[in-house]
Each structure stands twice: as structure tokens, then as C-alpha cells.
A and B are shown apart, each in its own frame.
Chain A
Amino acid sequence: MSANLSAIFYLISGILFILALRGLSSPETSRQGNYFGIAGMTISIIVTFLSVGNFGPGFIYVLIFLLIGGAVGAFIAFRIPMTAMPELVAGFHSLVGLAAVFVAVSAFLKPEAFNLGVVGQIKLASLIEMSLGAAIGAITFSGSIIAFLKLRGIMSGSPITFKGQHYLNLLLGLTIIFLIYYLCNTQASNVFWSLVLISFIVGLLLIIPIGGADMPVVISMLNSYSGWAAAGIGFTLENTALIITGALVGSSGAILSYIMCKGMNRSFFNVILGGWGANEETSSSKDKEQKPVKNGNADDAAFLMKNASSVIIVPGYGMAVAQAQHALREMVDALKKNGVKVSYAIHPVAGRMPGHMNVLLAEANVPYDEVFELEEINNDFANCDVAYVIGANDVTNPVAKTDPQSPIYGMPVLDVEKSKSVLFVKRSLSPGYAGIDNDLFYRDNTLMLFSDAKKMTEEIVKNI
């Protein structure tokens, strides 16, 4: 296949990928969008086979490895529980990163195969592109591994910080730039390997200081990196599909990071440079111990909600941990039978990744037109009888609106306290991730339900 013809097919793949993302603008068109993506991928792979034109024994091996990888991927895709989506996505990011490193390594070892010159005399532009691709890929890989371990709970979610961390990262970052420069001058393979190694280390160091609840930003950021790594390789291979895709994925991840940061009212650098709450907590917890809270049980909650005319459910990460989404859906069904109007309110950073709560609710068969984003639903709390907060905490804290001293001041929060009564399902009065007390616990219209989210919801269902 001629180079021009294959370039046109790669362009078509790129367009199909754009359409795949475009489809996600609404759930109705999204499934079709996914097929566009699959079509784009199929075209790219077939065109690559045809343009390489080597159908010898190597081709058979390629097919075998493709099928092995594909079988593993398909197995994971079907088996993974929806609550584990954040770690799955982090794991997948690490694979893209590592694949980018491998392709760059291969291109460095055998530049002839990619038309980049010969060993020791690789074209300068190609060398820069492949080292950028390798470096970003390596950072994506090791960073995603850490994110995966933290999300999976294998590694503690609390930030790991040490003195001089930022300076060390800065130093290593400058070293990477220096090594790329040095590599361009010498073409030495030692320099290339050092570059890859240091990038791996940077990836580790970049993610260890970031705490569990900041994971939505981290995952989005790594998503973005995996895109830039792909684009770097795309430039090396002079491949349009890869360049377009890399740019799409890179900007997609960047936008998601921005949305997540905005949902927490923090700057991107504030998140990346680590620890929130860790340095600011402790002071407020003591003087509030005395405050009385109203303690309720499932019977009270069922009575309140059954006689309400409208209920808003506020889910958070705790719902995912307790796997309470199905019980929640049963509760809502029971309420609807009693003529109660129920809707769901989702904060942008609820959960551990963008859109996490929406997927869990969709899994429990909650229709997506009952689920609303913060801006859409926030005014409705004032007219609602009961707000049922399940597994969310900081995102409902009214302190964010009233106390300029609070570390979460200015963060957009759900106006839960405006509803006539609030039912707050929580294991204990312990503060949330931000390390600050939730004012909502002590309000007159709040009834605390101290229990596991799933157990409490199931008991409420029995009592309705």
C-alpha cells in the first residue's frame, strides 16, 4: 500500500476517533460513538499491516500476541466490577505509557524500520520526538502504577511527603531536559536508557505525595499524559492517526483535570504539589466535640422520606465503598411507589474519578434523567423535603460558603442544608478527607444515621 493512501486511511481513523468522543455528548449517541472508535482502530491496524506488507512468520506472531492481549483485555473488561473503574482506568493508562516507551525503545534500537535514519545517526527531530514520547510514556507508566496501587488500597491513600521533595522533582525534571539535549549530541544509548530510567522515577515521585481524594485530578492528569506520549510517538512515526489521537486524549485529560480542580476550588499546582488538609487539620476538632447531634434510626428515616413529597439523594465515595448503589435504588423504588419524587445530586468530585457516581447509579439501573449535576439541581434543595446524604461529606459542608478560614472555603458545595430535613448516613462523626468538621452534622434539621451505608439503606427499605 502506498504511503499516501495509508496516510489518508490514518486520517480517516483520526476522524472516526473524533466522532467517538463527539458521541459522548449524550447517552443516546454514545454507543454509536463507541462503534466509530472501534472502526477507527480496526482501520488503523489493517492499514498498518498492509503498508508494512510483511506477511511472513512475523505476521503470525503479531496476530497471536494481538489475540493474547485482546483476550486478556476482554476478560478484564467483562469481569471488572463498576466500583473498580478508577483503578482499572489507572491500570490501562500505565499500559499505554509502557507501550509508548517500548515503541520508542524499538525505534531507537532500529531506526531503519521507521525511516528515521540509522543507528548512531538518527534524524535530530525524530530523536527529540522519540525521547519526549519515551519520557512522558515512562512518567505515565510509573505514575499510573502508583495511582493504581493507591486506588486499589494496596498502598495507603495518604500523601507521602518528605523534605526537599519538590526540589528533587525539579532537579530530576531539569536532568531529563539535559539528557535529551545530551542525547541529541551524542546519540549514545546509555543516555537514552538513563532518560527512561529517570522518567520512571519522576512518575513515582510525582504521584506519591497526592492523597486519595485528589485521585480524580491525578487520573485525569495521567489520562492527559498518556495522550501526549502517544502524540510524541505519532510525530516520530509521522503517523496522522496517532498525532490526532494524542492531541484529542491530551486535551481531554487536561480539561477533565481542570473540571476536577474547579470542583474543589483548587489550582492544579496546589493538587500536584501535594497534601491538602494534612497541614491544616486538628485545630477545629476539639471545640466541637460538645455539640449535640440528633441521632436517628432507619425507622425515623423511612417515616420522614415516606411522607415527603420530594427527596434528593446525595451519593459520594462512601456509597461506592459500601457497594450501596443497588440497595439505594431499591429504596428509591419503594419511595416512588409512595408517590415521592426522587432525584439524585452529583458533585463534580464525588468519587474517585470524573463521572464515577453516574456510572455506579447507571449500573444500579437508575435512569440517567433522574441524575443531576451540581449546577442543575442546587436550587432545588430549598424546595425539597428530605436530602439523603449517603457516603458524601466534604461536598455538602456549608462551611465552604461561610468560613473564609476553612481550607475548603470557596469550593462549590451542594446546598443540602437548605432542604427541610437532612438524613446523613455515616459511620461516625469523623471528619472527611479535608480533615475538617462538617457543620451539617450539628444542624437542627439534620438527623444522623450512624451505620454502614448499605445496611442502613436496606433497613430503611424494610421500614418503608
Chain B
Amino acid sequence: MEIDPFIFRLSIFILSIFVGYYVVWSVTPSLHTPLMSVTNAISSVIIVGAIIAALASSNNIFEISNIFGFLAIILAAVNIFGGFLVTQRMLQMYKKKKK
């Protein structure tokens, strides 16, 4: 019997939760704020869906579904650039003692 591809995706999902669990526990508490801003940035990979929605081929690219796609692109892009750059800015500030 064939396995539904959904099961494979579910497996990836569950295994990723475990990976996330162990990886996040190893994050040093002093970097918890950058952790939040970077998770914010990477969750904006939802832009992938926004791009598909915006480029959905039809004669008129300003159909309502495309417009929602464009709006989602703007929101996700704010987050991607803002999230990674602010994380970068924070991480630059963490310095060791000068000896």
C-alpha cells in the first residue's frame, strides 16, 4: 500500500520539532532576544507562499488573490530584512572583555 505524502511531511514536521527542541535549549540565555528576532526573520519564509500567490498565472495579475499575495510579500519582506538586520545589529554588540 502506498503511503500518503502527507505522512512524510508530518514526519519532517515532528522531527523538526525535536531538532528545534534540542537546538533551542543549547542557545545561551544571553542571546534569547536575538533568538526571538532571528526566529521571526526565518518564519517569514512564508514569503514563498506569498510569491506563489502573487504570480499565480492569469490574464490579470491584479486579481484579488494576487493582491493578497502582494500584500503578504510586503509584510514578509519587512520582517525578513528587519529581522535579519536587527539581529545582526544586536549580535555585533556582544563583545568579549578586552585584555
- Contact A102 B68, CB 8 Å, known A45-B51, A77-B89, A233-B49: yes
Interface residues, chain B, with chain A CB atoms under 8 Å away = 5-6, 9, 12-14, 16-17, 19-21, 23-57, 61, 63-66, 68-98
Residue of A nearest to B29 (CB): A373
> DSSP class of A's interface residues: helix, strand, loop or mixed?
helix
- Contact A113 B53, CB 8 Å, known A73-B78, A78-B89, A230-B45: yes
Q: Collect the chain A residues with CB atoms within 8 Å of residue B37's CB.
A: 85, 88-89, 92
Residue of B nearest to A256 (CB): B32
> DSSP class of B's interface residues: helix, strand, loop or mixed?
helix
Q: Collect the chain B residues with CB atoms within 8 Å of residue A17's CB.
A: 42, 45
Q: Collect the chain B residues with CB atoms within 8 Å of residue A369's CB.
A: 96-97
Contact B19 A77 (CB under 8 A): no
A131 CB within 8 Å of chain B: no
**Segment touching B, from A155-163, A169-177, A238-246, A438-446:** A238-246
Contact B56 A110 (CB under 8 A): yes
Q: Collect the chain A residues with CB atoms within 8 Å of residue B55's CB.
A: 52, 54, 58-59, 62
Q: How far is the CB of A7 from chain B (nearest CB, A)?
A: 11
Q: Collect the chain B residues with CB atoms within 8 Å of residue A78's CB.
A: 85, 89
Q: How far is the CB of A370 from chain B (nearest CB, A)?
A: 7
A18 CB within 8 Å of chain B: yes
Contact B86 A77 (CB under 8 A): yes
Q: How long is the Cα–Cα vector from A72 to B76 in the complex, in angstroms?
A: 11
Contact B70 A226 (CB under 8 A): no
A362 CB within 8 Å of chain B: yes
Contact B17 A251 (CB under 8 A): yes
Q: Collect the chain A residues with CB atoms within 8 Å of residue B71's CB.
A: 102
Contact B38 A34 (CB under 8 A): yes
User: Other than the known A238-B9, A355-B29, what 8 A-B pairs have Cβ atoms closer than 8 Å?
Assistant: A26-B28, A30-B34, A41-B44, A59-B55, A69-B76, A72-B74, A233-B49, A362-B93
A414 CB within 8 Å of chain B: no
A430 CB within 8 Å of chain B: no
Q: Collect the chain A residues with CB atoms within 8 Å of residue B78's CB.
A: 69-70, 72-73, 76, 92, 95
Contact A102 B35 (CB under 8 A): no
Residue of B nearest to A51 (CB): B52
As a 0/1 sequence over residues 207 to 237 of chain A, the CB contacts with chain B under 8 angstroms (1 = contact) are 0000000000001100100110011011111
Q: How far is the CB of B76 from chain A (nearest CB, A)?
A: 5
User: Can you list 26 A-B contacts with CB-CB less than 8 angstroms, sorted by A residue number?
Assistant: A18-B20, A24-B28, A30-B31, A33-B38, A65-B74, A70-B81, A72-B77, A73-B78, A85-B33, A99-B47, A100-B46, A105-B65, A106-B49, A107-B49, A114-B53, A235-B6, A237-B48, A237-B52, A239-B49, A245-B43, A250-B20, A256-B32, A346-B29, A348-B29, A355-B29, A368-B30
Most buried by A among B31, B45, B72: B45
Contact of A21 among B39, B65, B82, B90 (CB under 8 A): B39
Residue of B nearest to A94 (CB): B75
Q: How far is the CB of B46 from chain A (nearest CB, A)?
A: 5
Residue of B nearest to A246 (CB): B43
As a 0/1 sequence over residues 119 to 140 of chain A, the CB contacts with chain B under 8 angstroms (1 = contact) are 0000001000000000000000
Q: How far is the CB of A68 from chain B (nearest CB, A)?
A: 6
Q: How long is the Cα–Cα vector from A78 to B81 in the complex, in angstroms?
A: 11
As a 0/1 sequence over residues 245 to 265 of chain A, the CB contacts with chain B under 8 angstroms (1 = contact) are 111111111011001000000
- Contact A61 B70, CB 8 Å, known A21-B20, A373-B29: yes
Contact of A31 among B32, B35, B91 (CB under 8 A): B91
Contact of A24 among B35, B77, B96 (CB under 8 A): B35
